[in-house]
Amino acid sequence: MIILYFQTEITRLEQNYRKLEYKLTQSQSNSRQFFPKTLEKDNDDLVVIYNRVPKTGSTSFVGVAYDLCKKNHFKVLHINITANMHVMSLSNQYKFAQNVTKWQEVKPALYHGHMAFLNFERLGTSTKPVFINLIRKPLDRLVSYYYFLRNGDNFRPHLVRKKHGDKMTFDECVEKNQADCDPNTMWLQVPFFCGHSAQCWKPGSQWALEQAKHNLVNHYLLVGVTEEMLDFISVLEAVLPRIFKGATEHYLNSNKSHLRQTSSKIDPAQRTIDKIQKSTVWKMENELYEFALEHFKFFQRKVLMKESLGVPQTYFYEKIRPK
């Protein structure tokens, strides 16, 4: 109980520090930055797709968007696929792509749902949406999902999950080589970034991993990590203010930072961790996570931190001809 108390106090103090740090940065930045005038209608054609990976903190993030949508004048739409499938049929891929890009009445819009990446170039649309996502340490995500199926969460505490009543711990599951904790069940973040190709969904596919990295770099505006949700939101606010203006302060001062937590989750023992980390799937999923983390850190430094000159980066046009 004493350890838990101090852990809670440390977390509270860290959050208060981040609030003060954020407000100080904002006050310094706003006093020195120049923002060119833009028309009110700019970016009103914007479409953002968040193809959220299960158990990566997506409910907390989407909660912020739902709270901001009325104030910032944009729509939030949940993509609900039959039987919670993560891939669409080819005909639905085409219809969805055409619908999202041409549905002017709901723009600007943020779509979210548990679906694999969809390449709009392949589907013949004249415009493309902006993709964003979050990724989590693969074993942490698997453990969270394991206990979520058994104990539910604090978001909908009275909903009975399909493994309700199963008291087997994750450690015991791994020791007995049960299906629910098979390392192959971790194969989810790679295929979510890889896409709708059949090869994406084959556990341990090297092609799928490389395609996931390619898509992350070339087709996603930003991919954050669950462990640094605040910085992910702050970068989005800086890059896409049309949607995320005020998101950082709202996240810091609301209850959205821990909107959905798995109940009664037990951390795995070291022997369990060692066994899981020997698997090919864990190594590949973790390679994608580390790749995404490095990529995010690079953009985070550029957007949230001042350059060597001590002022935020900007740009302008000159030598415009003809006059």
The angle subtended at Cα 180 by Cα 175 and Cα 182, nearest 5°, is 60
**296 CB burial (10 A radius; 0-12, 13-18, 19+):** buried
CA-based nearest residue to 153, from 85, 60, 71, 45: 60
Is-catalytic flag, 86? no
51 vs 117: CA distance, rounded Å: 7
Q: How far apart are CA 52 and CA 222, in angstroms?
A: 13
**DSSP per-residue string spanning 49-73:** EE-PPTTSSHHHHHHHHHHHHHHHT
Per-residue tokens: 253: 């001062």
Structure tokens at 62: 């989407």
Residue 110: beta bridge partners?
48, 76
Q: Which of 73, 78, 86, 112 is catalytic?
A: 112
Distance between CA atoms of residues 322 and 300, nearest Å: 38
- Of 73, 78, 86, 114, the active-site residue reads 114
Cβ 257 vs Cβ 233: under 8 Å: no
Does 73 participate in catalysis according to the annotation? no
Alpha helices by DSSP H, 73-166: 90-102, 138-151
- Catalytic positions are 112, 114
